[in-house]
Structure 1
């Protein structure tokens, strides 16, 4: 006997919302988190990310083989496209897991490679997550490419800090690092959205990492993200890791070093990212808190 009944629709996933690199839901960078995305197609993930509307949503698929507790395959989607790695959504996801399972160690298998994350509870009772990047590298960038990027941003060569020359940093995704000579220059961000998106797409860039150095270990940063359909990312863990690799490669800090990056202040969503460079290990560690968004 046959049945004309329509097949049952797949259940809607539970979508969590966390603010990463902040202790206030109104700060940091919001991320969507789906802790069990088993059975979701890439098209459905992209549609969910677009519905959520944050710069990224992370989709976790638990590894059910053997004794692989704490292991997940993770995919990251902006409202417009999939990205290979996202730091703030990784921190948000790890804290979301720890909220349910307690502090511990997780391993995320991403398109960029394997990313371990440690979650612990600080003396303040707040959960802190530390991700260890994939192996980073830094690339030269041509003068013509720099000039085009500056024109699209509305910057001039005189707006740059000569001590921190432009480079492309990678620690899971590619970011063009441009250092502003003054805090005022960093604070004024108006750019050609479509033009910069096309420029970045042609060069496989995820964000532009705009930085201003306040002191040896303290930086202020901003990240235009037009390729993700977002004018600016409020707190960007992947770019922070790439920037740490850049500073190490340039010899701009003495290793070991712990750096503090303030981001989101100019958006009214302040967040703090901690970047650790260790001796004998070229991988970069990025730490921060995350809290649920009601």
Structure 2
């Protein structure tokens, strides 16, 4: 029987594409920019990382290239949304479609090809625990992702940089009056979001499922966007939300493997059903959204 131990051992890896992309989007939204192009940035990062690793340049180089590809695409979005002050929703959607188109173009000749994944690293003693021990045997990207979560939480909560980012998102006019370069801060936040989306795509295509298939991001970027709202723009809640979605995505695989008599398409849609239900519940709590939301999110700033 494939059950609890399977879900627990794999949920961190399954959560990593969601988590990395959502962390980047959280920083961008904290700075007041809504980037709906995450799906396309993940797709471009995925194909870039896969192609680099496929040709023997190693995972470090592949992830670097994927991050730079995501950041470059986010820079195009930032130019439209921040310099030209285009509608952020329309610009994000356009960039997302553009990124998915580029990934399909560049990945066409690599369809169904595979690369080697990453080895697992164990935490001594903890990895030997029954049932839950698999949680402590993960690849290095998972451990770095957890470290990045802690680092982003600390920066946003405890540093001057985090204060500037939050000030720019809450009241850009007041932030500018205090001497903070609002547009530059937003550019950097958006590029960081694109970088993280590229890394998330590379992980999905070269580690979690180390093969290339067109459309393999399969809505993960949209779930990452939803996770930011799910976490009410707080890092800790976002992290646990990503773990939840990772567990749900594995639970449907475990159910199929154990012969649960449900339609396979219905089981595969479980993460998206959970997304809709959770967003509906959170959106109904206006006080929570108002308390933790970003006041100037999606509002163009004209200096």
More strand by share: 1
TM-score range, shorter-chain basis?
Answer: under 0.3
The TM-score normalised by the length of structure 2 is 0.24
Higher normalized helix content (fraction of residues): 2
TM-score with structure 1 setting the length:
0.25
